[in-house]
């Protein structure tokens, strides 16, 4: 089978599509025949060596939508032929989801959303799980105020929708051109420049100390990159989400997609063999939605 990997760190040009053996599922694992797999900023970070692994072959890709192709022992209710989505967590692994097949833990899998094609469904797991787990860290109650930075991005957009559903007063920080988009996602207020006084900030744009300054004294800050979290000040509770593969939560998010609460956004698609080209497009920026690789 084919898989996108890096054997050395660098720019998009270091991404290779190689031939490798089809992985076999162990106990409590399933193998998925990949129909679509999202390219995320974390893949660029892996490619650049942010998470280490020098001298190793590192697979790329965390999100996947596809069909269960094989199951290991004690794989629960999953059966061959089921259409699923999953998060394959891991920054330095030999194979990721940017491949023809991928093996994931059975408890990381959820049934694919009905009425949604695989390319679109593949954009759900990593970004939506990151958003909901960051909101859980903040622990806000209905009526409290939340500023979401990078609100037009994938994580930020899901955070706006999920927070608004919880009755939280959401303010979206984004570019002026994105005001219409973030208001459609559920933001009650829009800002092109930050300001203080919020009960909490979900910092999807990774602004760090700048965003921390916009939290009221004794409020809460949640980042999306553990290594980039600013130090606590003014009694502000500071945390960062390290996303976990949670099939139960993913199943809940799938139901929110099916009920129209969550909007899935695809920017462009690329063939798996064009993985390096897709990385180059990601590096250009300006995307409103995710890039998706199709084997």
Give yes or no for residue 133 having a pLDDT over 90.
Answer: yes
User: d(Cα 251, Cα 267) in Å, to the nearest integer?
Assistant: 24
Closest CA to 215 of 131, 133, 148: 148
Model pLDDT, residue 227: 85
Closest CA to 32 of 45, 23, 20: 23
CATH 3.40.50.720 in the chain is located at 127-240
pLDDT band at 279 (very low <50, low <70, confident <90, very high): very high
CATH of region 2-124+264-294, choose from 3.90.180.10, 3.20.20.70, 3.30.1330.40, 3.40.228.10: 3.90.180.10
What's the whole-model pTM score? 0.96
Side-chain-facing half-sphere of 245: CA atoms under 13 Å: 18
The tens digit of pLDDT for each residue in 210-240 reads 999 999 999 999 999 988 899 999 999 999 9
Give yes or no for residue 109 having a pLDDT over 90.
Answer: yes
Residue 267 main-chain phi, psi, to 5 deg = -85, -55
Query: What is the DSSP annotation of 235-274?
Result: T-EEEE------HHHHHHHHHHHHTTSS---EEEEEEGGG
Other beta carbons within 10 angstroms of residue 57's beta carbon come to 16
Sign of the C-alpha dihedral computed for residues 241, 251, 146 and 183 taken in this order: positive
> Which two structure tokens, joined as six digits, stand for 227?
């290594």
Give the percent of the chain with pLDDT over 90: 96
Query: Considering all CA atoms of the chain, what is the largest pairwise distance in Å, rounded to the nearest integer?
Result: 54
Average pLDDT, the chain: 97
pLDDT band at 91 (very low <50, low <70, confident <90, very high): confident
Query: Pairing relation of β-strands 215-223 and 198-203?
Result: parallel
CATH 3.90.180.10 in the chain is located at 2-124+264-294
CB 47 within 8 A of CB 23: no
Q: Tell me, which fold does domain 127-240 have in CATH?
A: Rossmann fold (3.40.50)
């Amino acid at each position: 089978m084919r898989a996108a990997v890096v054997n050395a760190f660098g720019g998009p040009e270091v991404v290779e599509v190689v031939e490798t053996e089809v992985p076999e599922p162990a106990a409590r694992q399933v193998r998925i025949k990949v129909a679509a797999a999202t390219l995320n900023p974390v893949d660029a970070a892996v490619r650049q060596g942010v998470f280490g692994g020098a001298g190793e072959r590192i697979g790329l890709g965390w999100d996947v939508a596809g069909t269960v192709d094989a199951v290991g022992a004690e794989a629960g209710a999953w059966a061959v032929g089921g259409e699923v989505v999953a998060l394959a967590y891991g920054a330095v692994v030999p194979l990721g989801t940017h491949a023809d097949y991928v093996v994931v833990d059975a408890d990381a899998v959820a049934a694919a959303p009905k009425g949604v094609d695989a390319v679109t469904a593949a954009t759900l797991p990593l970004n939506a799980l990151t958003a909901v787990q960051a909101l859980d860290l903040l622990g806000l109650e209905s009526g409290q105020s939340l500023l979401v930075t990078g609100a037009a991005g994938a994580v930020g957009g899901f955070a706006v929708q999920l927070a608004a559903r919880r009755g939280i007063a959401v303010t979206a920080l984004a570019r002026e051109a994105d005001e219409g988009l973030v208001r459609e996602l559920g933001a009650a207020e829009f800002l092109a420049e930050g300001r203080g006084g919020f009960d909490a900030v979900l910092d999807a744009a990774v602004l760090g100390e700048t965003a921390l300054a916009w939290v009221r004294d004794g409020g809460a800050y949640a980042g999306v990159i553990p290594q980039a979290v600013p130090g606590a000040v003014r009694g502000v509770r500071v945390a960062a989400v390290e996303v976990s593969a949670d099939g139960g939560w993913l199943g809940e998010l799938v139901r929110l997609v099916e009920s129209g609460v969550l909007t899935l956004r695809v920017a462009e698609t690329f063939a798996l063999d064009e993985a390096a080209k897709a990385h180059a497009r990601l590096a250009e920026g300006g995307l409103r939605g995710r890039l998706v690789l199709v084997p």
